């Protein structure tokens, strides 16, 4: 046996690929690793417009071109910050918060607006 024989990509391409994928498999909370990467286009998102725009034909593909990607677990949705959240948390993702300046005029401080 040759112990000093180096492992090269040509002699063992799958070992190298497995090593690379193992480094990429670290996904966040509520995520799983899809080694093929083809399901990313099908992932549910908090933004409903993005869900309507997805290519359903691509979602049916069984090809495995890679690279791998982290996917949201079933029942979770990708928010605009890239995190996988529950449907309830998606509501916050779609809200716009408006901040009003404090009332400077004392006349208006008694009204319901201030």
d(CA 74, CA 31): 9
Residue 92, domain CATH = 2.10.25.10
Q: Is residue 97, in this structure, part of any structural domain at all?
A: yes
pLDDT the model gives residue 2: 47
Domain span holding position 38: 13-110
Q: Tell me which residue of 32, 31, 51 sits closest to 42, measured CA to CA.
A: 51
Q: Is residue 8, in this structure, part of any structural domain at all?
A: no
pLDDT the model gives residue 1: 47
30-41 tens-digit pLDDT: 999 988 887 887
Instruction: Give this prediction's pTM.
Output: 0.57
Neighbour count for residue 71 (Cβ, 10 Å): 21
pLDDT the model gives residue 26: 86
Q: Is residue 62, in this structure, part of any structural domain at all?
A: yes
Q: Give pLDDT < 50 ranges for the chain.
A: 1-2, 4-5, 7-9
Q: Is residue 21, in this structure, part of any structural domain at all?
A: yes
Residues forming beta bridges with residue 70, ordered by sequence position: 33
Where are the alpha helices (H) located in the chain, listed in sequence order?
13-24, 48-53, 56-59, 87-93
| Cis, peptide link before residue 67, omega less than 30° from 0 | yes
Report how many domains make up the chain: 1
């Amino acid at each position: 046996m040759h112990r000093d024989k180096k492992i090269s990509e040509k002699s063992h391409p799958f070992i190298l690929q497995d090593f690379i994928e193992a480094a990429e498999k670290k996904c966040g909370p509520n995520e799983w690793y899809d080694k093929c990467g083809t399901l990313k286009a099908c992932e549910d998102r908090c933004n409903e417009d993005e869900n309507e725009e997805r290519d359903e034909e691509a979602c049916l593909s069984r090809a495995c071109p890679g690279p791998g990607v982290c996917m949201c677990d079933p029942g979770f949705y990708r928010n605009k910050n890239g995190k996988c959240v529950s449907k309830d948390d998606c509501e916050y993702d779609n809200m716009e918060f408006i901040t009003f300046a404090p009332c400077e005029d004392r006349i208006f401080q008694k009204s319901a607006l201030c």
